[in-house]
Structure formats: C-alpha cells, structure tokens
Amino acid sequence: MKFETRCVHTGVYKDESYNSATTPIYPTSTFVWDAVDKNRGYDYTRSGNPTRRALEENITSLEGGIDCRCVATGMAAITTALQLFTPGDHIISGDDIYGGTFRLFHNVLSERGLEFTFVKMTDLDAVRAAVRPETKCIWIETPSNPLMNIIDMAAVAEIAKQAGAISIADNTFMSPYFQRPFEFGVDIIVHSMTKYLNGHSDVVGGCVVTRDEQLAERVNYLQNAMGMGCSPFDAWLVLRGIKTLAPRMQAHQRGATALAEMLHEHPAIERVYYPGLPSHPGHELAKKQMTGFGGMLSVDVKGGRAVAERLVTKTELFLLAESLGGTESLIEYPAEMSHASMTPAARLAAGIGENTVRISVGIEHPDDLIADMRQALEA
C-alpha cells in the first residue's frame, strides 16, 4: 500500500468483537491469563498494550523498520536509545542539536560515564576525525534544530559502520513522510511523537524504531525494564493524528516555503535557514535524501536580541510557544526557550545567535501567515 493508505489503515483493526472502524483504547493495567503458562499476548500494560502495539505497528510500517517501541515522551525515546551504551562508550553528535538532547548528553549521561564529542556534522572530515576506538554511536539530527543543517545520512552511517558503531537518527523534523533514514543505512530512528506524528499539540510521546532483530529485542527489553511505555490513551491520540500525516505535511511545507521566500527578501531579516531555498547550503543534499523540505525554518533578525525578542511577541497567528509540528503556527526564541539548556558557549559554537528565531509553520493559509509576519516585522 502507498504511504498515505498505510497511515490510515495500518494497526487499526483490532476489534474482533464489534469491528470498530477505529482502534479501541485498552485502558487496562493488567490482563487475565487463561492459565499460569498461557495468556492472549499481553500480561501488563507496562510490558505491552494492544492500543500501543497498534501504533507501533503503524510507525514501523511508515519508517520501513521491523519494530517500534512507543514511550512517554521524545526525551524518553532518546533516553531509551542511549541505554544501549555503557560507561566508557563514546558517542559523536552534531553540535547544533535540540537543547534537551544536548542537556541529556552533556549534563546527565556524561556524568554516568558516557563520553560525547560534539562536531560540525556537515563536515564529514570532522566526523571521521572524532572517531575513537571506543566510539559506539554517531547521533544524527537532520535537519538540525534550529539551524536546519542537512547531514549526509548515508555518509555518516557508513562512517559509523566502518568504526564498528551504530548510527541513530532523530527524524522528528521531517517525519517518515518526507524522510526515511533506514533507506540511507541508519540503524535506529527516534521521534518525538509529540510533534508531526501526532500533529495536534495535545499529547506528548516518543518512539524508537529499529531495523535489526538484535537491536529490536534490546530496545524492547529496555523500554519494559525502565517503564518507559506511553499510555494507551496517548498512543490512541497519536494513531489518530497519523491518519492525516500526509496532507498535514504537505500543508506545513506549502506555508513554510511561502514564508521562507518572503523572509528571504525582507530587509529586516539577515538570514533564513530553510532547506527548500536554493540558497541553503544543504539544498542539493536535501533534494537527494528528502522528498520534501518540511514546515520548520529559522531566521536571524537584523538588530540583535532586542529586535528578535520584540518580533516573537508581535505576531498574532504565530503563537509564542515551544514545541513544533502542530496545526497552529508557533514562534520561539531558542536562546531562552528550546535551547536555553545549552551553555552559552555551546550555542555560540553551534551558531545559534542572540538574534535567532525559530518558526514552526502550521497548516493555516500561507497568505495569512505572511501577512501576520509582515506586520510583526514592521512593528
């Protein structure tokens, strides 16, 4: 089946009693056994739940993997994936990643014995130079958050393979509609399901998708052992959201492209970060490994921090809020919001400036979004 059809139908038909057209919610903590050595596939919702499993089947199909485990938040997905490694293991990551990921790596997991090197991952020589004998993973975030750098997934996955390491890609920004990292050799995919997969700003969740049997078994074990699984109701909400993933992503991209083109020409804007623009340094690579350019963009505003802070408070349709990927457009100031958990030095090294503003374009009409942004810039 085509992608759009799988969004609607995969993992849905679980009701053998009444043939419900939507996936039932099983809000039970425990399941009755037929005998001490026999149950009907589920024993306790921490370990597995029919509603959650339906969502896992759906995402597995969309990403082209063999298994998926859905957890409570996007950060829980990253935490689960990083539990594959042990003290002394070395992980290479881009330096311009989501602030919460940086905090987990730099402040939390490094205190527990994992070692991290943050590099400009668009520079493949820098990635190769960072490899050490104890390197066990290369972490890929593409497009990066918030600077929209495009990472060559096939090249980085090959570097990891040659080093005897695995590659993990955060595919939150693109969703499997626009990007499928497994097709480029990546070993594990993580998502914040809070964002585009759910798409309605009404639930938090995450997932870890695998394409290798051994890794799949280990992720399943870790999710259960650590109690990371998402609730049945949250899983149901995300499964409902995925049904409209394809048309939503098209609408997000339509608005983001129009807005990026306007901002690229606006005299108040110093730089636009959007891979759909031919001026973006990763534009050609993006066309090779993505089927679209998504709904996220960032800008550097002329005039520094004061002007950037005023801009984010003057919009009307763009809501001043963290997160992304919902039907409504959002605008935020990374230095004090999504990336406040990074040290100032780390933000500076990554290129996240005091004048950087991140925008999540919703599914509103592009003309209205452009008019709102124009009035905010003029204000």
Query: Reduced to 3 DSSP states, what percent helix, strand and coil does the chain have, rounded to the nearest 5?
Result: 40, 15, 45
Cβ atoms of 137 and 167 within 8 Å: the answer is yes
- Looking at the DSSP assignment, which residues form a beta bridge with residue 273? 298
Instruction: Quote the CA–CA distance of 49 and 11 in Å, as a whole number.
Output: 13
- Choosing from 96, 170, 187, 372, which is the catalytic residue? 170
The rounded distance, in Å, linking the Cα atoms of 248 and 371 is 21
Upstream peptide bond of 278 is cis (omega within 30 degrees of 0):
no
Backbone angles phi, psi at 243, to 5 degrees: -55, -30
Catalytic option among 14, 46, 310, 374: 46
- SS3 annotation, 3-14: HHHHHHHCCCCC
CA distances from 218 to 210, 213, 214 (A): 10, 9, 6
Instruction: Point out the catalytic residue in the list 26, 42, 98, 196.
Output: 98
How far from each other are the two terminal CA atoms of the chain, in whole angstroms?
Answer: 49
SS3 call for 300? strand
Task: Give the closest residue to 210 by CA, choosing from 202, 220, 198, 201.
Answer: 220
Catalytic entry in 195, 248, 347, 358: 195
Task: Say whether 98 is catalytic.
Answer: yes
User: Beta 296-301 vs 319-320: how paired, if at all?
Assistant: unpaired
| Residue showing tokens 């124009």 | 374
The SS3 call for residue 314 is helix
Residue bearing tokens 């005998």: 35
Copy the structure tokens of residue 338: 């999504």
254 catalytic per annotation:
no
Residues annotated as catalytic are 46, 98, 170, 195
